Chain A
């Protein structure tokens, strides 16, 4: 446990002494800020139109702002995750520092967990900026905080899965660009798989759609914790980290 934290602290530090973390935080804050501004703009215009027409449809901040925005974050996150994970192992392999980690009295699983945890924490920092925007809603409106919290739980679980897969992919190469590109491809694929359910209802399409990480986020965005989706993400995390461990072990045999 102590070793895990040592590794995690070291990874966090290298994120934050290099421009990576600040670049990601800036980009993410900008992009999300733009989404937030748009969503809020539509909401306000809609509200005014309803008043002018004299209709009184119930307007709901949670349903009309928070839910679509959380879904946006889950998709935008896909684009940022490769940039977080690509260096985790590829960089160590390229510079030879992997020899230090692999010959220190530390278990592989401690190294892997430490790195994954650092990636999770950086992702959580990105989410923190979205939370700043949502804070305004609480200042001027009365959204329900519980669905929002559930939404964040879902985002973290979804990112956990993708970060674990990205960590695994990073062990396969010593080239960060390759690791990043491959992770990006996987993330994108795990998003668009969902589309199959739109036009095809065969068993295959359902399986593919089930594999999409986005499908399982819907319930969280609605503010519902569905154990089926929690289990999907937890098994995704486990699988990714398990593959990482196997890959690290195979280094000892192959290299």
Chain B
């Protein structure tokens, strides 16, 4: 459905996207992962014909973005990072405007408006001014706008950025429910989001492709040696706890993270393929200490980049604006 080959976008001072090649098959949800400024938005803007590539080709549903942009645009629904809403319009009025731009008209247009309002849970704000909507609603109206013409491909740029946790979950569910009908490519810098929604992941960093893989493979690759956070209730001697933990087979490193009145937090790293959680818990309890918490240390995207690229995570470059 989407084929990108050696795609490059050069700006005056830097290269935003550097020879990226990937493809997405029909019906897939693909996560486009990378830190801010990695080139996610630029790539998406090229796919949606907002920008033209400096070199390389990209095609959507068999149409080249340079040769037949109108055909590509007909088949793509795009939600930019900030939903492109006109504050002085009401929700249905806005959707009607977008629908007309996308080539819908008459009874079909009205039917689609009702459908996307229900689908994206914005039916209760149909007559509200877009400028008065909360961030969550604005995002959902943005989604409704993207799917109004029932496009083959959906391009969503950080669809959950800036939402509260409840709204994030609702939006994720919504996106998942759209997967059957559309091929979806969504960008994010939040790893769990990709794990929850996507089947396939494309990771880019500093404009370069780092990895394309299925989510499961990615998880396996990044969870070789496990890192756990363990909180022991005080009062106990931190040194004694650390020494006790280090004696457990399979543990490679123990580090005191934090020591407070309520307890101390250790980070425990285990060797690859060793499951040490049970042993850790038993050792703490057997020694007479109280185990407050034991959980896998959440891996930040930066750590994954460290692992995948072997280079330190990049400093955040200036965001490119239009």
Q: Which residues of A contact B (CB under 8 A)?
A: 2-3, 6-7, 10, 13-14, 17-18, 93, 95-107, 174, 251-255
27 contacting pairs across A/B (C-beta < 8 A)? A3-B100, A6-B97, A6-B101, A13-B88, A14-B86, A95-B84, A96-B322, A97-B84, A97-B86, A99-B78, A100-B78, A100-B80, A100-B84, A100-B101, A102-B49, A102-B50, A103-B49, A103-B78, A104-B98, A105-B70, A105-B101, A106-B73, A174-B322, A252-B51, A253-B52, A254-B12, A255-B51
Residues of B within 8 A of A18 (CB): 88
Given contacts A93-B322, A105-B101, A253-B52, 20 further A-B contacts (CB under 8 A): A6-B97, A7-B101, A96-B81, A97-B84, A98-B84, A98-B322, A99-B45, A99-B78, A99-B322, A102-B49, A102-B50, A103-B48, A103-B73, A104-B73, A104-B101, A105-B70, A106-B73, A253-B51, A254-B11, A255-B322
Residues of B within 8 A of A107 (CB): 70
Could you give, for residues 40-75 of chain B, a 1 whenever the CB lies within 8 Å of some chain A CB and a 0 otherwise? 000001001111100000000000000000110110
Q: Which residues of B contact A (CB under 8 A)?
A: 11-12, 45, 48-52, 70-71, 73-74, 76, 78, 80-82, 84-89, 97-98, 100-103, 145, 320-322
- In this complex, the member of A96, A103, A105 whose beta carbon has the largest number of chain B beta carbons within 10 angstroms is A103
Knowing A96-B80, A252-B50, A255-B51, the reply to whether A105 touches B97 (Cβ < 8 A) is no
Return B113 CB to nearest CB of chain A, in Å. 15
Partner of A14, one of B12, B88, B98, B100: B88
The dominant DSSP class at the B interface is: loop
Determine if B98 and A96 form an interchain contact, defined as CB atoms under 8 angstroms apart: no
A94's nearest neighbour on chain B, judged by CB, is: B322
The dominant DSSP class at the A interface is: helix
Knowing A95-B84, A251-B322, A255-B51, the reply to whether A105 touches B145 (Cβ < 8 A) is no
Residues of B within 8 A of A98 (CB): 84, 322
Residues of A within 8 A of B82 (CB): 95-96
The CA of A251 and the CA of B51, in the complex, are separated in Å by: 8
Knowing A6-B100, A6-B101, A104-B102, the reply to whether A99 touches B70 (Cβ < 8 A) is no
Return B312 CB to nearest CB of chain A, in Å. 30
- In this complex, the member of B51, B71, B102, B145 whose beta carbon has the largest number of chain A beta carbons within 10 angstroms is B51
Residues of B within 8 A of A252 (CB): 49-52
Return A170 CB to nearest CB of chain B, in Å. 14
A110's nearest neighbour on chain B, judged by CB, is: B101
Knowing A96-B80, A105-B70, the reply to whether A3 touches B52 (Cβ < 8 A) is no
B83's nearest neighbour on chain A, judged by CB, is: A96
Residues of A within 8 A of B78 (CB): 99-100, 103
The list of the 7 closest CB pairs from A to B, nearest first, reads A100-B84, A105-B73, A104-B101, A97-B84, A255-B322, A103-B48, A105-B74
Residues of B within 8 A of A254 (CB): 11-12
The CA of A95 and the CA of B45, in the complex, are separated in Å by: 16
The CA of A13 and the CA of B87, in the complex, are separated in Å by: 12
A249's nearest neighbour on chain B, judged by CB, is: B52
Return A211 CB to nearest CB of chain B, in Å. 32
Determine if B74 and A97 form an interchain contact, defined as CB atoms under 8 angstroms apart: no
The CA of A252 and the CA of B48, in the complex, are separated in Å by: 11
The CA of A254 and the CA of B50, in the complex, are separated in Å by: 11
Residues of A within 8 A of B48 (CB): 99, 103
Residues of A within 8 A of B103 (CB): 105
The CA of A253 and the CA of B48, in the complex, are separated in Å by: 14
Residues of A within 8 A of B102 (CB): 104-105
Residues of A within 8 A of B50 (CB): 99, 102-103, 252
The CA of A107 and the CA of B69, in the complex, are separated in Å by: 10
The CA of A6 and the CA of B93, in the complex, are separated in Å by: 12
The CA of A128 and the CA of B45, in the complex, are separated in Å by: 43
Return A55 CB to nearest CB of chain B, in Å. 59
The CA of A255 and the CA of B16, in the complex, are separated in Å by: 11
The CA of A253 and the CA of B322, in the complex, are separated in Å by: 10
The CA of A2 and the CA of B84, in the complex, are separated in Å by: 21
Return B34 CB to nearest CB of chain A, in Å. 20
Return B43 CB to nearest CB of chain A, in Å. 14
Residues of A within 8 A of B320 (CB): 255
A18's nearest neighbour on chain B, judged by CB, is: B88
Return A179 CB to nearest CB of chain B, in Å. 15
Residues of A within 8 A of B81 (CB): 96
